[in-house]
Amino acid sequence: MKEVKLSSANRASVLQEALEVIRGGGVVVYPTETSYGLGADFYNARVVDKIYNIKNRARKFPLPVLVSDLVYATSLVDFSESARRMAGKYWPGPLTLVLPFKYCKWQEHCDDFLALRVSSHPFAKDLVTILGSPLVSTSANIASTGDSYSASDIKKQFAKSAIQPDLFINAGTLPKNPPSTIIKFFNNQMEVLRQGKLKIQK
């Protein structure tokens, strides 16, 4: 796993390197407003499978994605009126919406819903915007272990992994924020799947 330290001076070159890795079918560790995440091209089934192997995560749990904005999200999923209002209020930010996926029949690695959000972290937001497609955004850890907020966390998580991410974008120690709140909408009914820092009641 290659490591590059992110700074204001090299931000553009690090973005370019991350994009090259992702477009080449690689996996990157990158900072978000919650914790470090594992990212890859959502449309590349082979690299999505690699993320499952890196995390030792069961395939029955679909991977969430980042998208650039609400407009792009509407091209992927069906928004109820309630879901659209919630996205308009809390995006960008630590809110993941689980909504009916329009193109599941085209994807080998999904179910009928897609979990997605718009990140408020400047690097993550620029990365997915320039990429121009959904970016897998699952926590950078082995399944059922703690989230990663520092370089030492990342190195400890993957030290013994047979398969590792290709690139670690080291943005220093991140604030220890809780994971995103996850809300599912179906037939205009709302279900809170996980409460994060953003507290939302039915």
Nearest one of 68, 33, 17 to 175, comparing CA atoms: 33
CATH of 2-194, one of 3.40.50.800, 3.90.870.10, 3.20.20.30, 3.30.750.80: 3.90.870.10
pLDDT of residue 38: 97
The model's pTM = 0.92
pLDDT band with cut points at 50, 70 and 90 for residue 106:
low
Assess whether pLDDT exceeds 70 at residue 164: yes
Nearest one of 80, 78, 41, 79 to 63, comparing CA atoms: 41
Residue 44's identity, in one-letter code, is N
pLDDT of residue 141: 94
Could you read off the pLDDT of 114-141 as tens digits, one per residue?
999 999 999 999 999 999 999 999 999 9
Residues 135-155 as b or e (16 or more Cβ within 10 Å = b) = bbbbbbbbeeeebbbbbebbe
Residue 65: how many other CB atoms lie within 10 Å:
24
Q: Domain limits of the chain?
A: 2-194
Could you read off the pLDDT of 88-103 as tens digits, one per residue?
999 999 999 999 998 8
Could you read off the pLDDT of 11-57 as tens digits, one per residue?
999 999 999 999 999 999 999 999 999 999 999 989 999 999 999 99
Residues 6+ positions from 184 with CB-CB distance below 8 Å = 97, 98, 99, 113, 190, 191, 193
